[in-house]
Amino acid sequence: MNETHHRVTLTVNGVVREATVPGRRLLSDCLRHDLGLTGTHVGCEHGVCGACTVLLDGEPVRSCLTFAVTVDGQEITTVEGLAQGGALSPVQRAFTECHALQCGFCTPGFLCTVTAFLRDNPAPSEEEALEAVAGNLCRCTGYQNILKAVHRAAEIQAAEIQAAELQAEEGGA
Amino acid sequence: MTTRLFGEPVQRREDPRLITGRGRYLDDLGAGALAAAFVRSPHAHARILDVDVSDALDVDGLVAIYTWEDLPGALAEPLPLLIPHPALTHGRTAYPLAREIVRHVGEPVVMVVARDRYLAEDACALIRVGYEVLKPVVGLEEAAGGAHLVHDDVPGNIGAHLVQEVPGPGGETAREAVDAAPHRLEFRLDVERSACTPLEGKGVYARWDADDASLRVYSSTQTSTSVRMAIAAKLGLPLPKVEVVAPDVGGGFGVKIVHPWPEEILVPWAARLLNRELKWTEDRREHFVSSSHERGQVQHVRVGFDDDGRLLGLEVEILHDHGAYTPYGIIVPIITSTQLLGPYKVGAYRVEFSSVYTNTVQVTPYRGAGRPQGVFCMERTMDKIAAYLGRDRTEVRAANFVQPDEFPYDQGLTFQDGRPLIYDSGDYPEALRMLKELIGWDSFPEEKARAAAEGRRIGIGVGCYVEGTGVGPYEGGHVQITSDGRVHVSTGLTSQGQGHETVFAQIAATELGVPIERVSVVTGDTRRFGYAVGTFASRAAVMSGNAIALACRKVREKALRIAAEALEADPRDLEITDGMVHVAGAPSASIPLATVAVLSNPLRYAFDEEAKRATQFAGPASDDRPPVAEGEEPGLEGRDYYSPVRSTFAAGMHAAIVETDPDTAEIRILRYAVVHDCGRLINPMIVEGQIHGGVAQGVGGALYEKMVYDEHGQLLNASFMDFLMPYATEIPRIETAHLETPSPLNPLGIKGAGEAGVIPVSAVLAAAIEDAEGIPIDRMPISPSDLHTLRRSR
């Protein structure tokens, strides 16, 4: 019994990567085992826990429910790609500042989810922030510090945007 | 002082790698290793008739298939019974692969090795195991009835039976005290099964080095040192030829303290046999049906008390479900029956438990480890007494508290460590005062009346607990300062997210007077520290924290001795600040610890500029003294152990306000307050995080989580779709206050904090729901439909 393999080309964290995978290969397994990006974790294998969440063309998806062959040619951001140029992203900084992780296993999924959320909603209400993380399971933190981190990340992000705008104005003047 | 870090909310040193995807969890290791998968029993109780692998042999990439018949020597024997106890007269453990009989759904029968996990599972699906299905034993009372047996040679399914009894102040038995009491109550309580459910399941990755005849095993375990000993024993390898490393571990909560799991010895065995790297990563369904569960108990209570609600006698009979096997002994019911007493003096006490076999997954400690059930029992008892007497529930509790001037307080029982249950310190009246203030206990009746006027039902509940933490026998710490001024700390116990790298670094930095940035901590790696017990029982901070502090003190003393000679000063006049040893009050007379480390190791060969200072012609030396003085060792390092005479006892009290929907019976937690005493806090941020997480697990256990077995012994909800763990939407904001009564038992005055949060939650929420509804709540968890049924049956 030999399986048919398919060649897929993915842009992962800005880098073009190729893999040869059987049709049933999950995106999570492809990222982890074919491309060596083990930051994306698998907690339940059926799309409930959210640990495997990555950004597919910017939108959060469960990589454990996605076949790698179905995303051929698309762009993927994993937890490894959240820090830009060696600088931690606002969401990453907020998570550590607020002690929003303990064992860290579910954290990559939360980080990807919150990153996409704050891009679309940079100043969320309490209710909106709660809703945003309510599809991800964490067994360690009790979520309180994760919610705190969402708001803290929004603050950091806003301050950074403001600082960048100021710099652009000064540069332009 | 830059180095005073004990007690500060220092940011975690684990985080940078974990938030960037650079953590190394078990399945992140071993790229290219072969994969193992298991054929597991689909029946709760059956005889294996035959195993037909013929179809599986065609699977591309198949490497090997093993059944029990293939296992050699000690590997073919039952797994160890880790904690024997005289009362466990009929302890039974499983074989690594089932031999003849399977006793729960999920028991491993066949091990398959293939090129990757997909192919290994393909092969598993093609292996046909013939079974003769036997009558399964499911449910505590059915098991205790003994009509059918889980093990043919265990009559009545009773694995263990234990009675502990403490007479009252006048020498009366509990039975006599209850019978003679002015008031008596008698009732039954039920607690369902739940499970640890860490987000990362178990996993094992083994590398056999044929050239070196040695084995390195990575396991997602809570005890690498003991896994190592088990592997060496089972595989007949010399201990120094086996190393076990716990990498980053994605949560444990108790399930990973059990060892060796079948996979923990089968994977290393096959890796050696095949001379190939081999890995097994547990999937979620496997975790549900083949790792451990906990909590399930039925309790029968008789209590006698006086007009003030003071306990005179308490009799508790516990029926405990330990599942199909007892690898971890009877630790859980022992803890239930001893920690049930909480912060109270109960007069005469008699507790009896029977621990019974069922054809279900084995039961071993889950965070709290029997305490949630014990606290549920005692706190429900307190509430029933208060209701009976028409008194405030906190008054009844206060009337029974052990008082601050009564420590050390001997409860007269034998605890889980085999030592007397003697509370070391605490201040229960103060904790209750703080809690009542935090939740607004005294003004709640008005709040409730206001809510009632709006047609809303709200209720308040309280729960108190004492938690024996920091159990022995010991842990150790090793501290080495190298000639670059770095401080390398290691301890044998493991980490699963508790922040040990941070808190142990705080302790070392504080003890040694060095910046925390220079300290690195390694846990759970037998290459660095071979002697350890493990991480459980909220013991890591107490045990390894103190061991590391003691090791640091040895190193500090040596550093001061060497520095004193170099500075021509009295060691007693020296201090260490920011990694510099200096004369107190004279910072100019100083020497860096890095240099002290160089001087501590007399050298023949200089390998860098700094090392030249320690070579034989570098400086004046005494001709009549050996370079390494008698009783000294080269190097600036120290090792020490902490072995306490008995456990420390942390305590806490929680209160909650809930609202129940009059129509839908939905239960919503409006407020949740925690007063917590774990002795001196090393890092308040981390302690709070532990409490938050514990409470969340407690809320899961109280309102959502249970293992639903049908009469055939099938676990009906073995997935995250159906086993309802709380999301962020289910967990209230937790308000916390800390009380610090230092433990007199250890140098740092600390007690453990890991499990605390989960312990009283079921009791607290049951009390609050009862207060809102006016219906006795004697069974947990409680769902909206359970509450609806209770309302209708009233």
Tell me the pLDDT tens digit for each residue of B538-582.
999 999 999 999 999 999 999 999 999 999 999 999 999 999 999
Give mean pLDDT, residues A135-149: 98
Residues of B in contact with A24 (CB under 8 A): 118
Mean pLDDT of B774-778: 97
Statement to judge: residues A20 and A60 lie in one domain? yes
Which strand (E) or helix (H) includes residue B667?
Answer: strand B667-677
Q: What sign does the CA torsion over A142, A147, A152, A154 have?
A: positive
Give mean pLDDT, residues B4-32: 95
DSSP letters, chain A, are ----EEEEEEEETTEEEEEEEETT-BHHHIIIIIS--TTS--SSSSSSS-TTEEEETTEEEEGGGSBGGGGTT-EEE-GGGSSBTTBPPHHHHHHHHTT--SS-SSHHHHHHHHHHHHHH-SS--HHHHHHHHTTS--SSS-SHHHHHHHHHHHHHHHHHHHHHHHHHHHHH-
User: Measured between CA atoms, how close is A163 to chain B, in angstroms?
Assistant: 24
Task: Among A81, A110, A129, give the residue marking a domain's end.
Answer: A81
- Lowest mean pLDDT of A110-119, B595-604, B721-730, name the range: B595-604
- The alpha carbon of residue B354 is apart from the nearest alpha carbon of chain A, in Å, by 31
* End-to-end alpha carbon distance in chain B: 64
Mean pLDDT along residues A70-75: 98
Beta strand B420-423 with B409-414: parallel, antiparallel or unpaired? antiparallel
Evaluate if residue B139 carries a pLDDT over 80: yes
Instruction: Please check whether residues A148 and A105 belong to one and the same domain.
Output: yes
What is the mean pLDDT of the segment spanning B197-213?
A: 98
Average pLDDT over residues B750-774: 96
B731–A44: do the CB atoms touch at under 8 Å?
no
Per-residue pLDDT, A173:
56
Q: Which residues of chain A have a CB within 8 Å of the CB of B283?
A: 45
Which residue, chain included where needed, has tokens 């100043």? Answer: A123
How large is the ipTM?
A: 0.97
Burial bucket for residue B271 (CB in 10 Å: 0-12, 13-18, 19+): buried
What are the backbone dihedrals phi and psi of residue A62, each rounded to the nearest 5 degrees, phi first?
-90, 110
pLDDT at residue A159, rounded to an integer: 95
> Do A94 and A166 sit in the same domain of this protein?
yes
In tens, the pLDDT along B344-363 reads: 999 999 999 999 999 999 99
Angle at B514 between CA B512 and CA B515, to 5 degrees: 145
The reply to whether A139 and A68 lie within a common domain is no
Residues A167, A116 share a domain: yes
Q: State how far the Cα of B86 lies from the Cα of B90, in Å rounded to an integer.
A: 10
What count of other Cβ atoms lies within 10 Å of the Cβ of residue B226? 21
Amino acid found at B267: V
Calculated CA dihedral for residues B678, B679, B681, B685, nearest 10 degrees = 20
Residues 721-750 of B with CB under 8 A from A: 721, 725, 727-729, 731, 733-734
Report CB contact under 8 Å: A24, B118: yes
CA separation for the pair A10, A57 (Å, rounded): 11
Smallest Cα distance from A26 to chain B, Å? 10
Phi, psi of B503 (to 5 degrees): -70, -35
- Contact between A144 and B731 using a beta-carbon 8 Å cutoff: yes
Beta carbons of B743 and B642 less than 8 angstroms apart: no
The pLDDT value given to residue B734: 97
Which residue among B28, B198, B686 sits closest to A38, beta carbon to beta carbon? B28
Q: CB contacts < 8 Å between A and B, how many?
A: 175
Contacts of B256 in chain A (CB under 8 A): none
Shortest alpha-carbon distance between residue B668 and chain A (Å): 16
| Cβ B255 vs Cβ B90: under 8 Å | no
Summarised one tens digit per residue, pLDDT across range B626-650 is 888 888 899 999 999 999 999 999 9
Question: Which candidate in A1, A130, A139 is best for mutational testing of the B interface (most B CBs within 10 A)?
Answer: A139
pLDDT of B134 above 70: yes
Same domain? A100 vs A161: yes
User: For residue B674, what are the β-bridge partners?
Assistant: B654, B736
Closest CA to B777 of B335, B305, B187: B187
Structure tokens at A7: 């060649």
Residues A127 and A168 in one domain: yes
Chain B residue closest to A112 (CA)?
Answer: B19
- What's residue A1's pLDDT? 56
Mean pLDDT of B755-779: 97
The count of C-alpha atoms lying within 13 angstroms of the C-alpha of A99, restricted to the half-sphere facing its C-beta, is: 23
Q: Tell me, what's the pLDDT at B2?
A: 46
* Model pLDDT, residue B1: 41
**One domain, residues A115 and A155:** yes
Show residues of chain B in contact with A142, CB under 8 Å.
689, 691-696, 731, 734, 757
pLDDT higher than threshold 60 for residue B736: yes
| A70: closest CA of chain B, how far (Å) | 18
pLDDT at B620: 66
Q: How far apart are CA B557 and CA B490, in angstroms?
A: 19
In this structure, the answer to whether residues A77 and A95 fall within a common structural domain is no
Question: What is the CATH classification number for the domain harbouring A37?
Answer: 3.10.20.30
- From B724's Cα to the closest Cα of chain A, the distance in A is 10
B284·A45 Cβ contact <8 A: yes
- Which residue of chain A is at minimal alpha-carbon distance from B684? A99
pLDDT over 60 at B519, yes or no: yes
Q: Does B251 touch chain A (CB under 8 A)?
A: yes
What mean pLDDT is predicted for residues B740-757? 93
Query: SS3 of B612, please?
Result: helix
pLDDT at B623 (0 to 100): 75
Buried residues in B689-708 as b, exposed as e (16+ CB within 10 A): bbbbbbbbbbbbbbbbbbbe
Chain B: closest CA distance from residue A14 (Å): 16
Copy the structure tokens of residue B259.
Answer: 């060892």
Number of domains in chain A: 2
Q: Is the pLDDT of residue A105 over 70?
A: yes
pLDDT at site A96? 97
Question: Tell me, what amino acid is at B352?
Answer: E
- Which residue ranges form the domains of chain B, and what is each CATH number? 41-134 (3.90.1170.50), 163-195+293-471+645-793 (3.30.365.10), 202-281 (3.30.365.10), 473-642 (3.30.365.10)
Mean pLDDT of B679-690: 95
Q: What is the mean pLDDT of residues B526-533?
A: 96
Task: Work out the mean pLDDT of chain B and round it to a whole number.
Answer: 96
Q: Report d(CA A68, CA B433) in Å as an integer.
A: 58
The model's pLDDT over B298-343, given as tens digits with 9 standing for 90+, comes to 999 999 999 999 999 999 999 999 999 999 999 999 999 999 999 9
Q: List, for residues B462-501, the tens digit of each pLDDT value.
A: 999 999 998 989 999 999 999 999 999 999 999 999 999 9
Domain final position from A81, A98, A125: A81
A52 with A117, same domain: the answer is no
Q: Are both A45 and A99 inside the same structural domain?
A: no
Per-residue pLDDT of B414-471, as tens digits, reads 888 889 999 999 999 999 999 999 999 999 999 999 999 999 999 999 999 999 998 9
pLDDT tens profile B578-608: 999 999 988 788 999 999 999 999 888 888 8
Report the C-alpha gap between B376 and B372 in whole angstroms: 6
Percent helix, strand and coil across chain B, each rounded to 5?
30, 25, 40
Contact yes or no for A141 and B498 at CB 8 A: no
- Residue partners of B94: CB distance under 8 A and separation at least 6: B78, B79, B103, B107, B262, B324, B325, B327, B362
CA–CA gap between residue B642 and residue B493 (Å, rounded): 13
What counts of helices (H) and strands (E) characterise chain B?
A: 18, 29
Q: What are the φ/ψ torsions at residue B451 (nearest 5 degrees)?
A: -65, -45
**CATH value at residue A108:** 1.10.150.120
Distance CA B49, CA B130 (A): 5
What are the backbone dihedrals phi and psi of residue B203, each rounded to the nearest 5 degrees, phi first? -175, 150
Flag whether residue B689 sits within 8 Å of chain A, measured between CB atoms.
yes
Say if strands B667-677 and B734-738 run parallel, antiparallel, or are unpaired: parallel
Question: CB neighbours (10 Å) of residue A70?
Answer: 11
CB contact under 8 A, B250 and A104: yes
Shared domain for A159 and A131, answered yes or no, is yes
Lookup: tokens for B698: 């407690």
C-alpha B141/C-alpha B13 separation (Å) is 49
A140: containing domain: 90-172
